[in-house]
A and B are shown apart, each in its own frame.
Chain A
Amino acid sequence: MAAVRVERSTRESRWFAAFLVLMLLVLVALPYWGDPGDMRLVAEMAYYLALAQLWNLLAGYAGLVSVGQQAFVGLGAYTLFYLTSQFDMHPLLAVAAAGLFTGVVAPPLALLVFRLRGAYFAVGTWVVAETLALGMSLVEAVGAGSGMSLTPAIMVKIAPDRAGRDLVIYWLALAIAVGICAVVYLMLRSRLGLALTAIRDSEPASESLGVDTFRTKLLVYIVTAACTGVVGALIFLQKLRLSPDSGFSVNDWTVVVIFMVVIGGIGTFEGPFVGMLIYFGLRELLADYGTWYLILLGVVAVAIMLKAQDGIWGLIAKRFDLHLFPVRRRLTR
Chain B
Amino acid sequence: MQWLNILLQGAMLGGLYALFAVGLSLAFGIMRMVNIAHGDLIVLSAYLALMVVNATGLPALATVVIVVPVMFVLGYALQRGLLNLTLSGGLLPPLLVTFGISVIIENALLEAFGADIQRLHAGTIETASLALGGIAVGVYPILVFVTAVAALAVLQVVFYRTALGRAFRATSDDAGTAELMGVDNRHLYAVAMAIAMIFTALAGVLMAVRTTFDPAAGPIRLIFAFEAVIIGGLGSLWGTLLGGMVLGIAQAVGAALSPTWQILAGHLAFLLILMIRPSGFFPRTRD
Residues in A lying within 8 Å of B, measured CB to CB: 59, 63, 65, 67, 112, 115-120, 122-124, 126-128, 130-131, 134-135, 137-138, 145, 250, 255, 258, 262, 266, 290-292, 294-295, 297-299, 301-302, 305-306, 309
Q: Is B107 at the interface (CB under 8 A from chain A)?
A: yes
Query: Which residue of B has the minimal Cβ distance to A291?
Result: B107
Interchain CB contact (< 8 A) of A123 among B222, B261, B264: B222
Chain B interfacial residues counted at CB < 8 A: 43
Within 8 A of A (CB), among B90-123: 91-97, 99-104, 107-108, 110-111
Give Cα A306–Cα B93 distance, bound, in whole angstroms.
7
Contact call B223/A123, Cβ cutoff below 8 A? yes
**5 tightest CB-CB pairs across the interface, nearest first?**
A119-B34, A302-B100, A298-B104, A115-B278, A291-B107
Q: In the bound complex, how far is the Cα of B109 from the Cα of A291, in angstroms? A: 10
Query: B270 and A127: CB pair below 8 A?
Result: yes
A331 to B9, CA, bound (A): 68
Question: What is the CB-to-nearest-CB distance from A102 to chain B, in angstroms, rounded to a whole number?
Answer: 18
CB pair A305 B111 closer than 8 Å: no
* Residue pair A135, B264 in contact (C-beta under 8 Å): yes
The one of A120, A292, A297 that contacts B287, using a Cβ cutoff of 8 Å: A120
Structural contact, B94 and A119, CB atoms closer than 8 A: yes
Interface SS of B by simple majority: helix
Query: Once the chains bind, are A120 and B108 in contact (CB under 8 Å)?
Result: no
Main secondary structure of the interface of A (DSSP, over half): helix
Contact A295 B108 (CB under 8 A): yes
Report how far A134 CA is from B258 CA in the complex, Å: 13
Determine whether the beta carbon of B278 is less than 8 Å from that of A131. no
The answer to whether B34 touches A120 (Cβ under 8 A) is: yes
B146 at the interface (CB under 8 A from A): no
Residues of A within 8 A of B270 (CB): 127
Closest A residue to B278 by beta carbon equals A115
B274 / chain A contacts, CB cutoff of 8 Å: 112, 115-116, 124
Q: A112-B275, A122-B34, A128-B271 are in contact. Are A65 and B92 (CB under 8 A)?
A: yes
Q: How far is the CA of A6 from the CA of B35 in the complex (A)?
A: 44
B100 touches A298 (CB 8 A): yes
A133 CB to closest chain B CB (Å) equals 9
10 sample A-B contacts, Cβ–Cβ < 8 Å, listed by A number: A67-B36, A118-B287, A119-B34, A127-B223, A135-B264, A290-B111, A295-B103, A298-B102, A299-B104, A302-B96
Q: Does B150 contact A (CB under 8 A)?
A: no
Tell me whether B260 is interfacial, beta carbon within 8 Å. Answer: yes
A130 to B220, CA, bound (A): 9
CB neighbours of A63 from chain B (8 A): 91
What are the residues of chain B within 8 A of A122 when measuring CB–CB?
A: 34, 36, 95
Known: A118-B91, A120-B287. 8 other contacts (CB 8 A): A123-B36, A127-B270, A137-B260, A255-B103, A290-B111, A295-B103, A302-B100, A306-B82
B36 touches A120 (CB 8 A): no
Within 8 Å by CB of A119, from B91, B101, B278, lies B91
What separation, in Å, do the CA atoms of A327 and B220 have in the docked complex?
Answer: 39
